[in-house]
Homo-oligomer: A and B are copies of this chain.
Amino acid sequence: MPNSFESLETPRLLLDEARLARNCAVMRERCRALGVNLRPHLKTAKSLDVARVALDGEKSAITVSTLHEAEYFARNGYRDILCASGIVPGKFAHAARIRRESSCDLILVTDAIEVAQAAARFAESNGVTLSFLIEIDCGEHRSGQLPDAPAVVEIARAISASPQLRLRGVMAHAGHSYGVDEPAAVVPIAAAERDAAVNAAARIRQAGMACEIVSIGSTPTVLMADHLAGVTEARAGIYMFWDLAQLSRKMCRADDITVSVLAAVIGHTRHADTIILDAGALALSKDIGANRLLPDAGYGYLCDPVSLQRLGKLAVNTVHQEHGTVLVDDAAWFERLPVGSLVRVLPNHACITCAAYGAYDVVRGAEIVARWERINGW
């Protein structure tokens, strides 16, 4: 269904098909070279179509961050799903239902002995099986047990002791790889992530238990690790789309960024030297994570709708719920961007921006070639 952008009612979320395919191929090749399985994280994309591209058509192992996402992929044929946010007992019944209805090995995560114990009670009294990874803190200190904490082995024992639970392994996530200024600074973080996961796995094995999965990942650490010896799989997600936050840390180039928001100029406030867009806080999100290293990023760079080349130094400087305000340094912009004209805005943080939309309009060159649904919420 080829179509021009003019037929789309703004704001809309556009996805560049060629960039997505290229980004996904790069990560698959990177994991092959590292000798680890790629278990892509689909919390950013939340889309069967994007998953298909990421996995080159296979329905192999994936990562998600909510049971809602897990259920969506399980119902659509995925059989090896890691739900990588800490589970709580109130969600066991939902997890068990997903496993039962789809014959899926849904792998849950915890760093809490009381969750492992509650899971054993739940699984035994309901006659169901639950699989677990133990979360290891590799230095971000968001969540996870430290790799040398006694709790790692205690949780492993609590899981292994139950005939209804399966201890699958350990996972670490170096979220602090997003906090550094350049790729070279990621190298030691990647080493710490690997070492934390590998060492925790070794302690579990030394205690006489199996630890089949040793999972690490964030896009920056997978790309920058000098090796991943002892690791079995890598989780990464933002590499599919990239964004200004990753551009600001030099992890990608501007022409790797796959998603953008198509917006219309809805007014010229000439007495304030501004152009107003119909993309504001909801359409772009209030994430301004790119601004620390790219102080001109604002709520997103303005680009030509077809070429995706940046329009001068224009960015969305202020947002209200449905309004984005663009300061212009030259009145010529009022002629170049008349009321009703279209722009594309590159997002600060693709994971957050995409969550406002129920679908991607897929772009090939200057044509819309498909509409890919995505899910949101919980």
Give A contacts to B, CB under 8 Å.
6, 9-12, 43, 65-67, 85-91, 94, 110-112, 114-115, 118, 135, 137, 141-144, 146, 149, 175, 264-269, 271-272, 274, 276, 278, 281-283, 285-288, 318, 320-323, 325, 338-340, 351-352, 355-358, 376-378
Contact = CB atoms under 8 A, between A and B. Distances in A.
Nearest to A87: B266
A85 B266 contact: yes
Given A43-B322, A87-B266, A141 B9 contact: no
Residue of A142, A146, A175 with most partner-chain B CB within 10 A: A142
B268 A112 contact: yes
Contact of A269 (B137, B276, B318): B137
A236 B114 CA distance: 47
A356 B94 CA distance: 21
A212 B134 CA distance: 66
Nearest to A149: B271
Contact of A355 (B89, B110, B356): B356
10 contacts: A12-B378, A85-B266, A88-B339, A112-B267, A141-B272, A142-B269, A142-B318, A285-B286, A286-B288, A358-B377
Contacts of A265: 88
A325 to B, nearest CB: 6
Contact of A320 (B142, B320, B323, B376): B142
Nearest to A358: B377
A114 B340 contact: yes
Number of copies: 2
A334 B340 CA distance: 55
A319 to B, nearest CB: 10
Nearest to A111: B267
A111 B276 CA distance: 11
A264 B85 contact: no
A146 B271 contact: yes
Nearest to A285: B286
Contacts of A274: 141-142
Given A269-B142, A271-B146, A352 B9 contact: no
A90 B9 contact: yes
A86 B266 contact: yes
Given A86-B267, A356-B376, 7 more contacts: A111-B267, A137-B272, A142-B276, A149-B271, A281-B287, A281-B352, A283-B378
